[in-house]
Every structure is written in structure tokens, then in C-alpha cells.
Amino acid sequence: MSTEYEFVQVETHDDGRVVRIALNRPAARNAQNRGLLVELGAAFAAAEADDAVRVVILTGAGPSFSAGHDMGSEIGMRDVTPGPHAHPSTRIHGGTRHGVEAQMLQEWHYFFANTVAWRNLRKITIAQVQGNVLAAGLMLAWACDLIVAGTDTVFADVVGTRLGMCGVEYFAHPWEFGPRKAKELLLTGDCIDADEAHRLGMVSKVFPLDRLADDTLGFARRIARLPSVTSLLIKESVNQAVDAMGFTTALSSAFTLHQLNHAHWRELNDDGYPVAKAGHFIDDWREAGPPRPAVKDAP
């Protein structure tokens, strides 16, 4: 667990029984450039391989958990723009293919298959979130077994309203929000706060922001006391029940729909690599304010 990373930080607690992985691009609100996603995969894999680890906490440094995919920072564009400075991951997993095939294979590996693998990690995982949890930030949180949130947290998927595209690479939205709430939030870009997320059952605990890290660690320690085989069988029994209800089939189907919409968007708007060219279609995600709150019914 001593690997040095550029975009994530790893710390251990209780003789390695609890590991906390932090997305570490606070100035960019932990927007997910390719290097960050590859490093996050490596950090998760290292925790999974370590038999001392019982619980993995995933969090984000700074005021926000994650603003989603990096859609325009210098680092984010460098990572995916073809050329000598592109991230090595753009030259494998279909990255050297052409047209929609390259886009589909790259996104399948780095936006879909990795998230599914993290959902099925052979450890108990807790997302510790605060501030904005936007779009692909939801994907990371939803891949974890449990979510705990600071009182300032807002959750939203703003891809439809900011980019004009159905961004559903890991489409857990109906399972996490409920079908009609998912449609509402995707069509409007509105958000829900930590208390509403707790009421929906998406969030397990809401902690005061100044105690979020400590209270999450205490929560993780309670779970780490269980025998590892017990905790994993509990995880597997719940995941299998959800899979039997169609979760994984729905994920795969929605990813295909996403690729259709992404290819359509690319043809209409740009001939270049879509992520690298998308900056002029949306606000700078690092500077954008929090999503608008959903309009609540009158009492």
C-alpha cells in the first residue's frame, strides 16, 4: 500500500484494517481525468489484494467529493488528446481504433467496466462525500456499498442540461433515486440534498461536516469488526438480489443507449475527440456553482 500516486492519496488506519482513498484534485473539485481514474483503479486493486484490509473508504480532498468527468482542464485535455502527452491508457483498450469504436471501447473500460468492478470489490466500501457530487461523481459513490454524507452535500446529474447529452455510462439512477425522481433530476439538472438522499435510502448516514472524516472512520471500524467472510457474504447476498432484479442487465443496456447518444452528439457538434473538445459546450465545471435545488411542493 505504499505506492505513490499523482492524483489520489491513500492512508491506512488500525494496522491496515481500514484504508481511506482520497481523490486528490481539490482545485478542480476532483474532476476525473484519465490519470485519476487509472490510479483509483490501482489503489482499489491494491486494497483488494491486501488481506489485512477489511473496509475501504473512498473520499475526495477539498470542498467537493467530485464534479464528475474532467471536461476541459489542461490536465484533462492533455490526458485524452491524441499525441505524445496523452495518457498511456488512450493507446490500449481500443484507443487506437477509429471513430465510434474507439470511443465505445475506451468508455467501456474506463467509465463502465471499472465502475462495475469497484461495485464488486472483495472488500466493504464506503463513500464519504461532501459538497457537490455531480454526474460521474455519482458513479463513484454508487459503486460503493455504503454512502455517508456531510450535511452540505448535494447530489445531481447535470450532463443532460449542461452538455445536451444523456450521460448514463453507469446508469444506476432508477435504482438509487427511484424511476420518476431519476427522470426529474436528469431532465432538469436539479439536485437533492443529504437529508433527502437519506430519506430515499441512497445515503446511510448524514454526519456534521466538521466530524465527517472521524465519524466515517468510526462507522468503518464497526463494520471492520465483522469476520471478513461474514461481511463479504452479506455484500454478495444483497448484490445478487439486486442483480436478480435486473440491475446488471439494465446497466449494460443503458451503456449502449449512452453510446448511441454520444455518437450522435459527436457527429452534430464536433469531429474531434469528444471529451477533449467539449469545453466550449458547457460551463467550466471547476467554477460552476452548486446545482439548483429541486422545487419542493408547497405544504
Higher pLDDT residue, 197 or 279? 197
Residues 1, 34: contact at Cβ < 8 Å?
no
Residue 111 is predicted with a pLDDT of: 94
Residue 289 is predicted with a pLDDT of: 52
pTM above 0.75? Answer: yes
Least confident range from 12-21, 196-205, 258-267: namely: 258-267
Q: What is the mean pLDDT of residues 240-257?
A: 95
Q: Please state, rounded to an integer, the average pLDDT across all residues of the chain.
A: 89
Residue 290 has pLDDT above 70, yes or no: no
Residue 167 is predicted with a pLDDT of: 73
Half-sphere exposure of residue 58: CA atoms within 13 angstroms, side-chain side: 31
CA 117, 220, 156, 196 torsion-angle sign: positive
Query: What band does 35 get if pLDDT is binned at 50, 70 and 90?
Result: very high
Question: What residues does each domain of the chain span?
Answer: 8-281
Residue 199 has pLDDT above 70, yes or no: yes
Query: What band does 296 get if pLDDT is binned at 50, 70 and 90?
Result: low
Query: What band does 79 get if pLDDT is binned at 50, 70 and 90?
Result: very high
What is the 3 state secondary structure string of 120-162?
CCCCEEEEEECCEEECHHHHHHHCCCEEEEECCCEEECCHHHH
Q: What is the mean pLDDT of residues 99-109?
A: 90
Domain 8-281 has CATH 3.30.365.10: no
**Using one digit for the tens of pLDDT, what is the confidence trace for 163-185?**
777 777 899 999 999 999 999 99
Residue 270 has pLDDT above 90, yes or no: no
Residue 273 has pLDDT above 50, yes or no: no
Query: What band does 294 get if pLDDT is binned at 50, 70 and 90?
Result: low
- Whole-angstrom distance, CA of residue 292 vs CA of residue 190: 5
User: What secondary structure does DSSP assign to 158-215, as a single string?
Assistant: -HHHHHSS---TT--HHHHH-HHHHHHHHHH--BEEHHHHHHHTS-SEEE-GGGHHHH
Q: What is the mean pLDDT of residues 233-257?
A: 96
**Using one digit for the tens of pLDDT, what is the confidence trace for 56-78?**
999 999 999 999 999 889 999 99
Query: What band does 55 get if pLDDT is binned at 50, 70 and 90?
Result: very high
Least confident range from 46-50, 102-106, 116-120: namely: 102-106
Residue 117 is predicted with a pLDDT of: 98
Residue 292 is predicted with a pLDDT of: 57
| Residue pointed to by grid coordinates 445531481 | 156
Residue 107 has pLDDT above 80, yes or no: yes
